[in-house]
Amino acid sequence: MKTQIKNLAEELFDKTRERRRHLHRNPELSYKEEQTATYIASVLKDIGIPHQSGIGGHGITAIIQGELGLGRTLALRADMDALPIHEQNEHNYCSQNSGVMHACGHDVHTAVLLGVAEMLWRLRKNFSGTIKLIFQPAEEKMPGGASLMIADGVLKNPQPQAILGEHVHPELDAGMVGFKPGMFMASADELYLSIRGRGGHAAMPHTLVDTVYLAAQIINGMQQIVSRRANPIVPTVLSFGKIHSEGGATNVIPEQVYIEGTLRTMDENWREEVHELLHQISSDLARAFGGSCELKIVKGYPPLVNDEKLTRFFMQSARDFLGEDKVVELPMRMGAEDFAYYARELPACFYRLGTGGPNKDFRSPLHTPTFDINERSLLTGLGLMCWLSIQYLENKP
């Protein structure tokens, strides 16, 4: 079976590369993936795989039933949305939608899953059990397509016993993969602060409430949560990426200042405590200097926890398929992923697919306008996900 899968991956490599390039040329933003979904559905139809569309928005699901018996069910997930980034690469497959780009590799995830679907469809006479394909919209924007598809019943009829997903990783060479059993990625909350005071002439500070000064004090005060209130062994990140005002000039203090930021952590109880501290500190500091502050916290994705036993099973299976030197254990990451919602519902494994090239090529980070992949990584993506799927169905972790 291993040789058969590797040969199938080689056979479908060119087709998968063209599918990836088509998706890369035609990116669509979160919740707007109508044409992407239409394309995915057309590919599944051409292969002959029955599918359902319109799940949780533009989501698609499909079932591949092994013909050797019922067995267990494994879900495979790929996301399909792009980012509001203007691409700066110079390839014939660059984005044709100005200001929209697949800068996080979701085109890769989707193309690989389509290829794996075709492989498993051809191999269905050789295995028992069920594969459920999940093509998910809106990973990049809250509330996240995963939560919407789950609410729409994607994990029912049939109910998977486990779920597997991958993500591109430019820090690893193509041909390599990385796994992290247990806690892997952080929660993500959005912070929106509105600071109000009495504006006026900057040369007469005694007559006004300086909202810009208040903003600085609130940012500094909130950062003390990380440095002085957080347990040092619990990863916590508090960052502010945007600050602006209505009005204001070199000699004008504005009446309102707005701040936007993000909170990341790995512990749900501590996460809730930080929310309370953020409200308390921002309100108390603003009031102490004669102003006011309204804080809105948009609670985002939970921490992503890979099932320990399942992930170690897949790690060993990956070593068997790729070789010992091609599989590494990764550290925790403070990025967030809505795959975490699936991981709260059933045992899950989310792993990283190396996409870097030789001589440090293809190393632009995710979410940048020059991100691209070494397309040989598609070959690894195809073979490995197909192999892991069949290993799970045939060997109970």
pLDDT in tens, the chain (397 residues): 899 999 999 999 999 999 999 999 999 999 999 999 999 999 999 999 999 999 999 999 999 999 999 999 999 999 999 999 999 999 999 999 999 999 999 999 999 999 999 999 999 999 999 999 999 999 999 999 999 999 999 999 999 999 999 999 999 999 999 999 999 999 999 999 999 999 999 999 999 999 999 999 999 999 999 999 999 999 999 999 999 998 899 999 999 999 999 999 999 999 999 999 999 999 999 999 999 999 999 999 999 999 999 999 999 999 999 999 999 999 999 999 999 999 999 999 999 999 999 888 899 999 999 999 999 999 999 999 999 999 999 987 7
- Respond yes or no: is residue 139 known to be catalytic: yes
d(CA 396, CA 393): 7
Nearest to 106 by CA among 342, 397, 295, 366: 366
**Given this model, what pLDDT does residue 265 score?**
98
d(CA 204, CA 191): 32
Top CATH class, 2-185+302-394: alpha beta
d(CA 88, CA 241): 23
At 158, the amino acid letter reads: P
CB 92 within 8 A of CB 152: no
Cα distance from N-terminal residue to C-terminal residue, the chain:
19
At 300, the amino acid letter reads: G
Question: Among the CATH numbers 3.40.50.300, 3.30.70.360, 3.40.50.720, 3.40.50.1360, which is that of 189-299?
Answer: 3.30.70.360
Cα-based distances in Å from 111 to 53, 79, 80, 156, 242: 17, 10, 9, 24, 35
- Respond yes or no: is residue 81 known to be catalytic: yes
Active-site residue, selected from the candidate residues 79, 118, 139, 189: 139
Cα-based distances in Å from 352 to 136, 170, 376: 18, 9, 15
Check for a shared fold between 2-185+302-394 and 189-299: no
**Given this model, what pLDDT does residue 358 score?**
85
d(CA 17, CA 182): 32
Backbone angles phi and psi of 49, in degrees to 5: -90, 120
Which pairing describes strands 51-55 and 252-253: parallel, antiparallel, or unpaired? unpaired
Upper half-sphere CA count for residue 333 (Cβ side, 13 Å): 19
Upper half-sphere CA count for residue 149 (Cβ side, 13 Å): 31
> Which residues touch 319 (CB under 8 Å, ≥6 apart)?
326, 327
**DSSP class per residue in 64-88:** EE-TT----EEEEEEE--BBS----
Secondary structure of 176-235 as H, E, C letters: CEEECCEEEECCCEEEEEEEECCCEECCCHHHCCCHHHHHHHHHHHHHHHHHHHCCCCCC
Tokens in use for 147? Answer: 């939560």
Count the residues in the chain. Answer: 397
Active-site residue, selected from the candidate residues 28, 33, 79, 81: 81
Token pair 């290829």 is found at 115
What percent of the chain lies above the pLDDT cut of 90? 97
Backbone angles phi and psi of 26, in degrees to 5: -125, 60
d(CA 106, CA 109): 5
Tokens in use for 141? Answer: 């924007």
- The pLDDT tens digits of the residues spanning 139-168 come to 999 999 999 999 999 999 999 999 999 999
Q: At what angle do helices 308-322 and 2-25 cross, to 10 degrees?
A: 100
Tokens in use for 298? Answer: 């948009």
Tokens in use for 334? Answer: 């403070």
Domain residues of the chain, as ranges? Answer: 2-185+302-394, 189-299
